[in-house]
Amino acid sequence: MFETKTNSYINKNIFPVLLSGGSGTRLWPLSRSSYPKQYLTLNKNSKYTLLQETYLRLKGIKFLKNPIIICNEEQRFIVAEQMRTINVEPESILLEPCGRNTASAIALAALIGIKEKNDPLLLVLASDHKIEKNKKFRETIEEGIVFANRGRLVTFGVVPSTSETGFGYIESMEELSKETKSSDIKSFIEKPNKELVKKLLKDRHYTWNSGIFLFKASSIISELRKYQPEIVETCEKCLEKKIEDLSFRRIDHNLFKKSPNISIDIAVMEKTKLGTVIPLDVGWNDLGSWKSMWESSFKDVNNNSLEGKTIIKDVKNSYLKSDNRLLVGLGLNNIAAIDTEDAILISNKNSIDSLKDIIKELDKNNYRELKINNKVHRPWGHYVSLMENKNWQVKKIEINPYESISLQMHHHRSEHWVIVSGKAKIEINNETFLMNKNESTYVPQGAKHRLSNPFSFPLILIEVQSGTYLGEDDIVRFEDKYKRNTDNSE
């Protein structure tokens, strides 16, 4: 048995680290690398995205500091906007210029913690998991504080409920039960085969590897120096050359790409003598496939899960989801069908693991549908591409209250704006004027222009672009309140 009471000093030192850099392609076509699953609302009973839920479920833990969120550069404005909508100002948003897995991300957070936060306890969380029992989750985290404060590297093992071959397993020294609520870690097993999984499910020494960790910043850095010193050395150099940009911290690309591409499990947890596992029985699901989405969802009497505009007849054990169009299913069994604006996935649920092979094929052939989502987020709001051709494109643009695009011009295209909701402040060359609903204006090619929303309600407009080239890199920026100097996005 371990203590559950902690003093206020320990609680004040908890520093949440939200890892939000994943591409989420296992839930393609809904999840894309430009807008992966952690930024989607996938829980029918919640209005929040997975990233937002990851933070909000921590609120019962006393003296919690605002989090550091680690994501890639392309997703920075999505993260900032999703935190803003739940009234959270992150300690910082750390931008990875390229993916280097969890060991480097955790090393960066730990080094910041040691230098700036008096060696806190890092609570490391993947931002794309679903947890049903938030109160019990917080209680379990509290139980790990005592061990982490003693210098242990705590991980939380999910109590298995099914025979899963897609998860890693943690083997504990002792059987985990109501009486024995923690154990030293003996070994890790990476995605065992079906026969072995059946044996592990019956043995209380084994739990699923949740990817949730709790440890002192100095403890994890010490073990990283022992087993992967190159990661620590590279991350130290990266932070020395970091650039502060609003709430973002930019990491040098040339330095960071030299860091070993390795998970924290392989880098440290499988080697250290300091590992402790605590069972986590909170309705955890990593939502790692459409099959797991079906398993975690509400089902009808025929074991079907239906989302969006769907009609079915003689359908069993299936998952049907449609974003906009009517999706009709007839005489189906064990099928996953997901319909988005530009792609449709139809699969036998038992074959869904083969999606990774399709993803590789899409990537090899440069399919736009693999990476790009029609809804593109910007610091001022977002736009949706409605229709496009070689020489013209139609977008729906929404600008948040008190925000604006940069003062800019285009070499190769003109634009026509039609206000459909709200009011706009328009700047074209040396002229400034307001525009109301149902009014329109024309922006000639080469004109210096800016579109702003100086009011307290959203501004929505339709933009028609016309020209010889419509790429997002045809932007010359003169002024920008968001200090965007490294991209050419509106």
Of the ranges 124-138, 200-214, 437-451, which one carries the lowest mean pLDDT score?
Answer: 200-214
8 Å CB contact between 472 and 489: yes
Which residue, 107, 306, 114, 285, is CA-closest to 210?
A: 285
Structure tokens at 265: 């499990």
Q: What is the DSSP letter of 468?
A: S
What is residue 2's predicted lDDT score, i.e. its pLDDT? 36
Instruction: Report the DSSP beta bridge partners of residue 442.
Output: 416
Q: What is the DSSP letter of 37?
A: G
pLDDT at residue 211 greater than cutoff 60: yes
Using one digit for the tens of pLDDT, what is the confidence trace for 305-338? Answer: 999 999 999 999 999 999 889 999 999 999 999 9
Q: What is the CATH number of domain 375-479?
A: 2.60.120.10
What is residue 63's predicted lDDT score, i.e. its pLDDT? 61
Which residue, 99, 107, 113, is CA-closest to 13?
A: 113
- Backbone torsions φ then ψ of 252, nearest 5 degrees: -60, 125
Across 23-37, 185-199, 316-330, the highest mean pLDDT is recorded for 316-330
Which residue, 455, 454, 452, 487, is CA-closest to 473?
A: 487
pLDDT at residue 8 greater than cutoff 60: no
Question: How far from each other are the two terminal CA atoms of the chain, in whole angstroms?
Answer: 56
Q: How sure is the predictor about 6, in pLDDT bands with cuts at 50, 70 and 90?
A: very low
8 Å CB contact between 50 and 379: no
* Run of H or E including 432: strand 431-435
Which residue, 344, 332, 340, is CA-closest to 305?
A: 332
Q: How sure is the predictor about 25, in pLDDT bands with cuts at 50, 70 and 90?
A: confident
8 Å CB contact between 318 and 331: no
Of the ranges 64-73, 259-268, 332-341, 456-465, which one carries the lowest mean pLDDT score?
Answer: 64-73
* Run of H or E including 82: helix 76-84
What is residue 341's predicted lDDT score, i.e. its pLDDT? 84
Domain boundaries, given as residue ranges, for the chain: 8-284, 290-364, 375-479
Q: Distance between alpha carbon 159 and the CA centroid of its chain, in Å?
A: 24
What is residue 449's predicted lDDT score, i.e. its pLDDT? 97
Q: Does the structural domain 8-284 have CATH classification 3.40.50.300? A: no
8 Å CB contact between 386 and 450: no
8 Å CB contact between 436 and 447: no
